[in-house]
Structure 1
Amino acid sequence: MDAAFNAYDPDLYIYTQHSKLEQPIDNTARPNNKPSTQRGYHFKPLELHERDPVISTITSQLAEPVDLFLQFLPEKIVEKWVRYTNEAAKSLAAEDHDFSKSWEPVTLSEVYLFIGIIIYIGLHKEANLKSYWATDEGYKFLPDHPMARLMARKRFFLIFRHLRIYNEDTINPTEAHDPLNFQKVDEWSSFLQEVCLELWKPGLRVAVNECIIGFTGKSKIKITIKNKPTPIGFKAWAIAEE
């Protein structure tokens, strides 16, 4: 069996003949052929030509950190998310009267604000999401976190449940070799890879290794690798350069 690595690398193929997956949902495969008993008599080392990494000149033109952030999440991407979300919500509202009364279409600025809140939550840990809208015990009118002044808790949870970053018309739930979870992020994932390759050309001395993005909730693509610093979550491959 062979398959394209992803939509952005249509010519990069991974061959999995004579191999088996480490875990059913894991994309890491190991060969299951028996080791050869024959010995070799000639070794020809791989010739590698020195190549320095190249950082795009675009980065020197970015005045603020947010400008770099917008390279990976520009308005043209978020505008799609706004459209996908509102179209999906419109369909749901036609079937659910209670939802139709509570839902208002999202806007571009509101989705950016929502993403900012998600980033803030990742940096400031609380016991649960509702805690971010709690008020200070000594000053009942003063929230502990700034997002309470920017977005109501009810609105945040509505967007949290119904935000769509994919076009539902392109999703194929019967595609065995492309899990539904991966299809839903493929559009943005391909864009991120494109931007990365525009901003950085790797040099010769690189390392590729697997890592775990911590997650302990319910998911069919969650895996466990016991010897990892973060043993439970989503598996990803990372490339690093000195």
Structure 2
Amino acid sequence: MAASHESDSDEFSDNDFIDDVGGFDLVELNADAELEFRELFGDSDDDDDDFAGFMEYFPPDFSMWVWKKDYDGGRDRKEFVSETGPVRVDLPEDRRNSIGFFQLFYSDDVFEQITSATNDNANNKRTRDPDNNKGEWHDVTVEEMKAFYGVLLYMDVVRLDRDEMYWHSGSSYTWLKFPISEVFCRTRFVQIKRYLHFNDDTPVPGDKLFKVRYILDTMRTAFQSHYRLHKQVSVDEAMVPFKGRLSIKQYMKDKPTKFGVKVWVLADSVTGYCWNFDVYAGKYGTEIDRKLGLAGQVVIKLCENIMNKGHVIFTDNFYTSGTLGDYLLQKDTYLCGTARTNRKGYPTVDLPSGKAANRLQRGTIDWRLVGTSLQRCGKTTSLFSTSARHTLPRKAV
């Protein structure tokens, strides 16, 4: 069922994608229904199954929640005691530079895998279809692949309309300080770019990203192993600009980048460091958790490795829900975010909304508490939070 929208175009895009996944279907499963659920969507006993840990969770009956304007000075919560910041790596003196830090993420093993996959792809294509793969070719080396990446990074900083312009020797291009032509001839660069591969071409059922799965998983592991998150983290979406032909390309009319690949991101709220990510490759289908909805499933999947540590997860109103807040609370993890109070399954709170909220004076808010959950509303924004130590509003209704 499509979710109803509040007038907040900055936080979500009013398009078919959001409409399709905005609702939260709260389902009570008895023994027979659970068996049918497992037959349709897989057995959650598998450690790698996204359903693991959800079958025993049942959303609360929000109609039983009694919201009160009764502030008791704060509530206990799990203290966050983890170390934070970059993980110290004892690099040799000659590697304590930009290249050394880059290689923490793109190690020699990564370049060897890319080089091997690229050579296999080139040789396979030239064998299967020699008529469309003419020209001299010799296998690329690891050092050559590193140089290729260096050229790509340079091209991303110094933008020209077409690749061949970087090899132009005319007087109007004297400001190109980096002599790319001394590293690659244009033909060799185009060849490597044509055959560039990260994995073999063996299809993986249900995985549209199997050709880049190796690099995605490797980068995700590296991101997490070299940094420890602060207490405050954020879950949101990002768009990687792309206008070519691609089945997973998204259109978000209210975003600055309207066409591209959507990526769900878990980032450190203090530094903005990307700690976890997941590329959206289409509706999850059988992977959608029927109790939390897609938005809740995204948060759970991104944050599964930081549960039970006292983190506070900040979200916008696409992700925030009472169900998600309740589930995270059981994992000693706390939710704070703007909310769409008129979405399906959201707990009913006796607070001003719609036109009544618009009549509030600027800076005025109203609030209610139930257990460790706080609901605030203001003139334009509603907020839901389970981060237990709430601060009493200075200017309340």
TM range (shorter): 0.7 to 0.9
Identity of aligned residues (%): 20
Q: Hey, what does 2:154 align to over in structure 1?
A: 120
Q: Secondary structure at the match of 1:102?
A: coil
| 1:152-167 equivalence runs, <5 A | 152-167=185-200
Choose which of 77, 84, 96 in structure 2 pairs with 1:53: 84
Indicate yes or no: 2:234 matched with 1:207. Answer: yes
Choose which of 61, 66, 71 in structure 1 pairs with 2:104: 71
- Alignment partners' CA distance in 2, 1:46 and 1:220: 47
Q: Hey, what does 1:129 align to over in structure 2?
A: 163
Indicate yes or no: 2:274 matched with 1:241. Answer: no
Task: For residues 53-87 of structure 1, give each alpha carbon's deviation from its aligned partner in whole angstroms, at most 9, with x where no partner exists.
Answer: 24211177651111111111111111111111112
Amino acid at match of 1:196: F
**Cα shift at 1:32:** 4.5
Q: Secondary structure at the match of 2:63?
A: coil
**Cα shift at 1:240:** 2.9
Q: Give unpaired runs (5+ residues) of structure 2.
A: 1-14, 27-60, 69-73, 271-397
Instruction: Name the larger-Rg structure.
Output: 2
Answer yes or no: is the 8 Å Cα contact 1:59–1:68 preserved in 2: no
Task: For residues 107-148 of structure 1, give each alpha carbon's deviation from its aligned partner in whole angstroms, at most 9, with x where no partner exists.
Answer: 111111111111111111111112111122369xx7945212
Q: Hey, what does 2:365 align to over in structure 1?
A: none
1:203–1:59: structure 2 CA closer, same or farther, 3 Å change rule? farther
TM-score by length of 2: 0.47
**Cα shift at 1:31:** 2.6
Q: Give unpaired runs (5+ residues) of structure 1.
A: 1-20
Choose which of 168, 179, 182 in structure 2 pairs with 1:149: 182
Q: Secondary structure at the match of 1:80?
A: helix
TM-score by length of 1: 0.75
Amino acid at match of 2:25: N
**Cα shift at 1:191:** 1.3
Indicate yes or no: 2:214 matched with 1:187. Answer: yes
Answer yes or no: is the 8 Å Cα contact 1:222–1:234 preserved in 2: yes
- Alignment partners' CA distance in 2, 1:161 and 1:237: 29
Answer yes or no: is the 8 Å Cα contact 1:134–1:143 preserved in 2: no
1:240–1:232: structure 2 CA closer, same or farther, 3 Å change rule? farther
1:197–1:46: structure 2 CA closer, same or farther, 3 Å change rule? farther
> What RMSD in Å do the two structures reach over aligned CA positions?
3.0
Q: Hey, what does 2:118 align to over in structure 1?
A: 85
1:196–1:108: structure 2 CA closer, same or farther, 3 Å change rule? same
- Alignment partners' CA distance in 1, 2:108 and 2:119: 16
1:138–1:37: structure 2 CA closer, same or farther, 3 Å change rule? closer
Answer yes or no: is the 8 Å Cα contact 1:212–1:233 preserved in 2: yes
**Cα shift at 1:30:** 2.8
Q: Hey, what does 2:259 align to over in structure 1?
A: 232
- Alignment partners' CA distance in 2, 1:209 and 1:220: 22
Answer yes or no: is the 8 Å Cα contact 1:54–1:203 preserved in 2: yes
- Which structure carries more helix by proportion? 1
1:234–1:128: structure 2 CA closer, same or farther, 3 Å change rule? same
- Alignment partners' CA distance in 2, 1:59 and 1:94: 46
- Alignment partners' CA distance in 2, 1:136 and 1:192: 39
